[in-house]
Structure formats: structure tokens, C-alpha cells
Amino acid sequence: MGKLTESELDALISLLDDNDHEVKSHVQEKIISLGHQIIPTLEKKWEDSFNPELQKEIEDLVHKLQFSLLKDRLIDWVKSPEQDLLTGLWIINTYQYPDLEFDKLNADMHQIYFEVWTGFKNDLPPRDQILNINHVLFSSLRFSANTKNFHSPGNSMLSNVIESKKGNPISLCSIYLLVAQKLGLPIYGVNLPNLFVLTYKSQDYNFYINAFNKGLIFNKKDIHNYLEHLKISPKDAYFEPCSNKDIILRTVKNLFLAFEKIGELEKSLETQEILKILEGSY
């Protein structure tokens, strides 16, 4: 697709509020085919416009282009060998905050890591190391469970959780996990039914951590009791580390449920598209 001149683009954008549905649809397709590079131009046109209908058309187009960019990034992430957790969380984060730069999220996470690292002692036994991390994350930095707004979509947005210091089990576990792995600790996510937790798993030690409950340490027997209480049969997956892809998948499932709960139908449908990419059925 050749580049359009400024005046050609102006003419195209001005046709967005054309009464003829066919003309409008053709214009939308043409603009979308120009790709996400066109977003800043569209945003500028939005600012310069005094026509609310045209502004609404531009908003819809910008969202479509941003969503398309998110899907492209996620497809690349799924194909990437490392499937870096922070990158995956950032991509999902851009669904609600499309202008969020990865570097900003990375810098905020590094700040949290730095706070933990300054008080961290490598020579402590594993359980004491965990108590050490718990103290910084949950007492000093005051991260906590968002029990009041448990179903808020913001709980699945890492930038939101870092800012509000409140999250759901998986977002709090993700922050904990990113910090712990940077400290070199063998800590991984565990996909439990209705709850996401962490496990410390080395040759000599194996126990579990509930970041949603201020880093409470528990053991395998507790998981058995939990499953029994839910009347769910034990499976290996409920005790063993899961992959970064599993964490992103669970994050998006939470987001889907959050949008459904608050009646955001369009967003829940788009979230299903994101799920398909992660499940390999896109």
C-alpha cells in the first residue's frame, strides 16, 4: 500500500461520517490497511475535529488498529522461545492502556525488585528468604488483595496493580514471581482451581506461597485439603510449576470474566480473540 499524502488522508478521514454505509465501510477498510503507524495521525485529526460523530468514528478506528497491534505482538510472543513473562503481561496491559511503553513497566518492576533486593539476604534458609520478601512486598510496599473490587478488569493490568498496590491472586503472584526469579530463586507459578499460587521448588525444598494472602507459606497437604473442600480430584498440574504462557492465559481468562461480569460485551468478545491466540486456535 503506497503512502498517502496529507491531503489524501484528510479527504479519506473526512469521509468517515459519510451517510452512505458502503462509502464509510470502504474508507474504514482503507485506513485500517495503512496499519498502526497511522494512529498518531488519526489522534491528531481527532484533536482537530469539532464533529463528535467523526471523533467517535476515529476512536473506533484507533481502537481497531491498537487491538490489531496487540494481537500481532501476542502472536509473536507465543512463537518466541522464551515467552518472557513481563513482556506477555505488558502486551495484555496494552489492551486497556494502549500507550503504555514496555520500558515504563519494566522500570516500575525494577524499582520493586530493587526495594526487595536491598533488604534481601542470600544466606538465609528458603522459608526465611520468603518471609524477607513478604515483609517488603506486603508490609513496606503494602501490596494487598483487592477483595473489594475482586472482579475489576484493572486487577489483570499489571500497571494498574503496581499503581494501586491492589490485585487479584495471579497479578500479585506475577509481581512476586518476577521479583523472586530476578533474585535467582526457584519460584514458579501453580495453577490451582479458583486460586493462583507459587511454589518454591528446588532439590532440597518444596513448599507453596499464597501471594493473595500476604505470602502465606503452606504445603502439599494443604493443597489436598483445599481440593477436597472444593470436591475436586487432585491432578499433577495443581502441585507442579506452570509455564509463563499458562500465567498469561489465566490472566486473560480473568479479564474475560471481569468484562462479562460488568456487562462489557464487546470487550469480552475481544478478550476471547486474545484467548484463541494463546490457545493456538486463532
Residues 196 and 175: their CA atoms lie apart, in Å, by: 13
Average pLDDT over residues 21-25: 77
Residue 246 has which C-alpha cell? 499458562
- Domains of the chain, by residue range, sit at 6-79, 85-279
Nearest CA to 183 out of 112, 85, 104 is that of 112
Q: What percent of the chain has pLDDT over 70?
A: 97
DSSP one-letter string for 115-128:
HHHHT--TTS-HHH
Residues 52 and 58: their CA atoms lie apart, in Å, by: 10
Q: Is the pLDDT of residue 105 over 50?
A: yes
Q: What percent of the chain has pLDDT over 90?
A: 74
Q: pLDDT category, 50, cuts 50, 70, 90?
A: confident
205 contacts 219 by C-beta, under 8 angstroms: no
Average pLDDT over residues 85-113: 97
pLDDT computed for residue 23 by the predictor = 73
133 contacts 157 by C-beta, under 8 angstroms: no
pLDDT digits (tens, 9 = 90+) for 109-161: 999 999 999 989 989 999 999 999 999 999 999 999 998 888 899 999 999 99
Average pLDDT over residues 177-182: 97
pLDDT computed for residue 57 by the predictor = 84
206: number of CA atoms within 13 Å, CB side? 10
Average pLDDT over residues 46-64: 84
Residues 29 and 78: their CA atoms lie apart, in Å, by: 27
- Coil, helix or strand at residue 64: helix
Considering the chain, what is the average pLDDT of its residues?
Answer: 92
128 contacts 185 by C-beta, under 8 angstroms: no
pLDDT digits (tens, 9 = 90+) for 223-249: 999 999 999 999 999 999 999 999 999
Residues 225 and 126: their CA atoms lie apart, in Å, by: 24
Q: Is the pLDDT of residue 49 over 90?
A: no
Nearest CA to 66 out of 41, 90, 96 is that of 96
Residues 21 and 258: their CA atoms lie apart, in Å, by: 33
Average pLDDT over residues 197-218: 97
Average pLDDT over residues 181-209: 96
Q: pLDDT category, 77, cuts 50, 70, 90?
A: very high
pLDDT computed for residue 222 by the predictor = 96
DSSP one-letter string for 49-61:
---HHHHHHHHHH
CA distance readout (Å), 244 to 3, 38, 139, 271: 39, 32, 27, 18
pTM score over 0.85: yes
